[in-house]
Chains A and B, each alone.
Chain A
Amino acid sequence: MSADVSDLSLVRRVQRGDKGAFDALVLKYQHKVVKLVMRYVRNPAEAEDIAQDAFIKAYRALPQFRGDSAFYTWLYRIAINTAKNAVVSRDRSPIDFDLDLQNPDESYDMQGRLKDSETPEALTLTEEIRSTVNSAIDALPEDLRTAIVLRELEGLSYEEIADAMGCPVGTVRSRIFRAREAIDRRLREVFEGGLGRAEELG
């Protein structure tokens, strides 16, 4: 199986004017891009802002993307450049201490110190999602757990997993799908509960 086929299918749709396909690309890569940007900035909220800029830049530059390289390689390059530029411009801009005195909340928001991603509620939800996924994986049958861990943690292809587990590629595909289904059932409960709590907070 050639790599990047699914990304390329989505990219071609975006290039033909389908914005919804770009949503799928953002959903798939948002965590990886934020993680990448976190190498340049420590603040998660600032990293998300930079990641957002990177995705918007990528969307605007997509007409020039010809598929010579993998989409994620191209996207990561944009994210790295965006992060570097953001760090340079941030270091050059002085902090306005008058704002601190007049409106402390706004000042905190500008500096990204107390954005929503770091509120206790957000951190709790994030931790809850992690523990749910991990406990769901622990509860999986051995063959499903091995398949999903080799895929998600080690990044092996289906063919490599098939070699490692001594089974056909079709079986690997089925095991990974069933593992995801089992995890997803638990995850949906958290998402729905999390959304309810968020609305109460809002």
Chain B
Amino acid sequence: MNEELDSQLSAMFDDELPQAECELLARRLSRDEALKARWRRYAVMGAAVRAERGVRMDVRLETNLATRVSAAISAEPALEGATVAETRARRSGGFRWWQPVSGGAIAAGVAAMSVLWVRSQAPIGSDEVVAQNPAPTAVVAQNENANAAPEGYVVPTNVEPRSFMPPAELANYMVAHSEFSTPVSRRNLLSTLVASESGTAGTTGESDGAAEVVPVEDPVENVEKAH
């Protein structure tokens, strides 16, 4: 046996042989039974030094684990290069059943995230603003159609800015009907009129939208009660 070859085999067993030499020796090792037997004894040495309990160093070839595995593998089809290539091709480009499912799941996730984001961006109390915004319209309708049938004020026709509200008429109207109002509502109406006189009708001095419309709602109720 070539001593240099054995030295290479020893280094290869320890994963210390350069790759180019490994390629050549691996080819020889797979075919050379004497080299394979030496390789096997190297493995036995290591197991003996480490005193691996329960592991037998079987010298009976017919029952040796490696021999049994080799016999089983010989009945298996050889792995061809095409097999490896096909496997990789299947991985990289072939149809995969979970692709459409995962695509749908991602789309649903994005949609759910969008809904949550939009909801989180809406200002606090915005629902109240939407519900109460028609109130001033009703007030305007009532004022413009003071002599019309009572049902006229419930159908908003045109949204006018609050600054066009005639405060003098409303003041007269309120004074005329104040005897039918509760003291709390009366105070609210008066403060609204005072504020509208100064050009800040309907505001309470706070910046959030919910606070802006609250005082406007009461006059409507009061007007309805008055009628």
Contacts and interface: CB of A to CB of B under 8 A. Distances in A.
A36 to B, nearest CB: 10
Nearest to B51: A130
B59 A194 contact: yes
B147 interface: no
B107 interface: no
16 contacts: A6-B15, A6-B22, A7-B15, A10-B30, A16-B79, A17-B79, A24-B26, A24-B39, A34-B65, A35-B53, A35-B55, A117-B56, A125-B57, A133-B48, A137-B49, A152-B50
A56 to B, nearest CB: 5
Contact of B54 (A16, A17, A35, A202): A35
Nearest to A136: B45
Chain A interface, DSSP helix/strand/loop, else mixed: helix
A157 B7 CA distance: 16
B47 interface: yes
A15 B6 contact: no
Interface string A180-202: 11011001101100110010001
A151 B79 contact: no
B101 interface: no
A108 interface: no
What is the size category of the interface that chain B forms with chain A?
A: 35 or more
B22 A27 contact: no
Interface stretch (A44-52, A75-83, A87-95): A44-52
B73 A1 contact: no
A174 interface: yes
A1 B16 contact: yes
A69 interface: no
B interface, by DSSP: helix, strand, loop or mixed?
Answer: helix
Contact of B47 (A18, A31, A59, A158): A31
Interface of A: 1-10, 12-24, 26-32, 34-35, 38, 42, 44, 47-48, 51-52, 55-56, 59-60, 62-64, 66, 116-117, 122-123, 125-126, 129-130, 132-134, 137, 148-149, 151-153, 157-158, 173-174, 176-177, 180-181, 183-184, 187-188, 190-191, 194-195, 198, 202
A1 B55 contact: no
Contacts of B54: 34-35, 38, 42, 44, 47
A22 B70 CA distance: 8
Interface stretch (B81-89, B109-117, B130-138, B187-195): B81-89
A158 B18 CA distance: 13
A181 B57 contact: no
A91 B47 CA distance: 30
Interface string B39-79: 11111111111111111111111110110111011101011
B151 interface: no
